[in-house]
Every structure is written in C-alpha cells, then in structure tokens.
C-alpha cells in the first residue's frame, strides 16, 4: 500500500495495529512486524510517525480516547465510557497495555496519558486526570493477575465503582 499523505500513513498504521492487537494469542510486536502487515516500509513509518512509542500514542489517542470522550459531557461520563470501552475490547486493550508496558516505562505512561487526556478533556483538573490514568493502569494490572487474562464483569464493575466513588469524593 502506498499512502498518499501523512494522514493515510497514520490511518494505515493505526488500522494495522488495531487488527494485530485484536487477535488472541498475541505475543510481541515490532516495527518490522508493522511494516510487513501494513505493507509500508519501515523508513516511512519512522519518518512519518516515529518509533513504536509514537505509534502506540497515536493508537491510544485516535482509537481509545476519541471513542471514550465522544458524547462525554462530564468526567464521570469519561470514566464510564473508558471502562465500557475496555470491557468491550478486552483483547485489543490488554495487548496494547502489554506492548506499552514493555516499550514505555511506567512514568512515561503516566505522562503520556496525562497529555492525551489534557488534549481531550481540557476542563479536567489534575486529580481527575490522575484518577483516569490510575484507573487505566489498575484495570490492566487487575486483568493481568486474573487467570487466563479474563477481566470478569465483577472486576470491571468493582473498578468502575471505585473510580466513580473516588471521583465523587474529590468533587464533594
């Protein structure tokens, strides 16, 4: 595939990453794999998007954050939409988390999520952003400890309850 523009390249890469990470049994993913699957050469990916950290940032921003923030009027809507998205896209989200955990260190994940949340939820204060970031990380930490990486509905609802409760306590 020969993209016509940066947007075409970015969309092609994002779609390819989503397809790969949505498959069960996923183990490891590199720029070489991305190049093979997307039919883009590695130089194009590096030049127009960047390293894998930049690819994952684009995927998180363009796929997850856009979906989570669309039709969200309050920060509680963002929390609920986020948890719903994760629970409905378990394989993709877990694989994305596992990849970013290896490529992007913990501190960098927090900085990255904070910046992305600021872009989409500019009216949120630092405590609200922190709860969304901690919620994201907590969901996947809990998920990773469950047998066979199954995120049960009970766990999802408990995480939702805790995040919303913490959020309401901050506002009161």
Question: pLDDT tens digit string along 20-78?
Answer: 999 887 777 788 888 889 999 888 888 888 888 888 888 988 898 889 888 888 878 88
Assess whether pLDDT exceeds 60 at residue 163.
yes
The rounded distance, in Å, linking the Cα atoms of 93 and 49 is 21
Q: How far apart are CA 27 and CA 109, in angstroms?
A: 20
Instruction: Give me the pLDDT at residue 19, please.
Output: 92
Q: Sorting pLDDT into bands at 50, 70 and 90, what band is 148?
A: very low
Distance between CA atoms of residues 139 and 105, nearest Å = 17
Q: How far apart are CA 111 and CA 109, in angstroms?
A: 5
Greater pLDDT, 147 or 106: 106
The predicted structure's pLDDT at residue 54: 85
Smallest CA-to-CA distance from 133 within 67, 79, 93, 73 is with 79
pLDDT at 5 over 80: no
pLDDT above 90 (res 16) = yes
Contacts of 93 (CB under 8 A, 6+ apart): 64, 85, 86, 139, 140
Q: What angle do CA 87, 88, 91 make, to 5 degrees?
A: 80
DSSP 121-140: -TT--HHHHHHHHHHHHHHH
Q: What is the pLDDT of residues 74-126, one digit of tens each?
A: 878 888 888 889 889 988 888 888 787 666 666 666 676 667 666 666 676 76
Residue 147: what pLDDT?
44
Which CATH entry fits the domain spanning 6-171: 1.10.357.10, 3.40.50.970, 1.10.1740.10, 3.40.50.620? 1.10.357.10
Alpha carbons 7 and 58: distance in angstroms, whole number: 11
Q: Give the three-state DSSP class for 172.
A: coil
Terminal alpha carbon distance of the chain: 53
Residue 166: pLDDT band (50, 70, 90) is low
The least confident of 12-21, 81-90, 153-162 is 153-162
Q: pTM of the predicted model, to two decimals?
A: 0.65
The reported pLDDT for the residue numbered 1 is 44
């Amino acid at each position: 595939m020969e993209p016509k523009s940066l947007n075409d390249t970015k969309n092609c890469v994002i779609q390819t990453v989503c397809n790969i990470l949505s498959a069960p049994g996923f183990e490891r993913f590199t720029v070489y794999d991305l190049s093979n699957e997307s039919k883009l050469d590695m130089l194009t990916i590096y030049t127009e998007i960047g390293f894998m950290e930049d690819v994952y940032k684009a995927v998180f921003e363009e796929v997850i954050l856009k979906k989570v923030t669309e039709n969200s009027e309050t920060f509680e809507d963002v929390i609920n939409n986020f948890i719903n998205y994760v629970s409905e896209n378990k394989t993709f989200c877990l694989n994305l988390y596992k990849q970013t955990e290896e490529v992007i260190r913990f501190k960098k994940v927090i900085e990255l999520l904070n910046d992305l949340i600021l872009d989409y939820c500019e009216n949120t204060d630092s405590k609200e952003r922190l709860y969304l970031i901690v919620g994201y990380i907590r969901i996947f930490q809990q998920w990773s400890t469950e047998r066979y990486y199954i995120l049960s509905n009970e766990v999802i609802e408990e995480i939702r309850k805790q995040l919303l409760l913490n959020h309401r306590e901050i506002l009161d």
